[in-house]
């Protein structure tokens, strides 16, 4: 963040509090940042830990049933999805061409997908 008065820059942390818990929670991760060396936005490609369950304060648990991933850079690429339908406990992979059942669980013993 930069100061409005002296223009000094410093790192900052943002915190969000959910006051009303929705039935379905959708989180969009901001996976781009401005690169001052290149004077353009670039995609952030670091690994993200996605928990199988998310416990939000006030006892509102959320169980993951879908992930959408983007492959490529900021201006091109494609999307794929990994979804566990409500009436089917098995995970499926969706892309532009096909739907395939995953024979391994995306969440192993640590209950986290990277
Ligand atoms: Zn200042």
The tens digit of pLDDT for each residue in 32-81 reads 999 999 999 999 888 888 888 888 776 778 989 999 988 888 889 999 99
CA of 94 to the centre of ligand 1 (A): 49
CA of 36 to the centre of ligand 1 (A): 20
Indicate the pTM of the whole model. 0.70
CA of 79 to the centre of ligand 1 (A): 41
Is the pLDDT assigned to residue 110 strictly greater than 70? no
User: What does the pLDDT look like over 67-91, one tens digit per residue?
Assistant: 998 888 888 999 999 999 888 888 9
Cα distances from 31 to residues 11, 57, 69, 70, 77, in angstroms, run 17, 25, 11, 10, 14
CA of 10 to the centre of ligand 1 (A): 10
Average of per-residue pLDDT across 88-103: 91
Half-sphere exposure of 96 (CA within 13 A, CB side): 5
CA of 8 to the centre of ligand 1 (A): 6
Q: What is the pLDDT of residue 82?
A: 92
pLDDT band at 107 (very low <50, low <70, confident <90, very high): low
**Extents of the domains making up the chain:** 48-113
CA of 3 to the centre of ligand 1 (A): 5
CA of 93 to the centre of ligand 1 (A): 49
């Amino acid at each position: 963040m930069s100061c409005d008065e002296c223009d000094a820059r410093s790192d900052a942390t943002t915190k969000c509090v959910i006051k009303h818990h929705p039935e379905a929670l959708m989180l969009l991760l901001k996976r781009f940042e401005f690169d001052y060396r290149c004077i353009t936005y670039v995609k952030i490609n670091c690994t993200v830990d996605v928990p199988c369950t998310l416990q939000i304060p006030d006892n509102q648990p959320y169980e993951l049933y879908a992930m959408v991933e983007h492959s490529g850079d900021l201006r091109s690429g494609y999307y794929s999805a990994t979804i566990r339908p409500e009436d089917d406990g098995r995970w499926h992979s969706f892309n532009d061409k096909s739907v395939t059942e995953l024979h391994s669980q995306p969440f192993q013993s640590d209950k986290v997908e990277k």
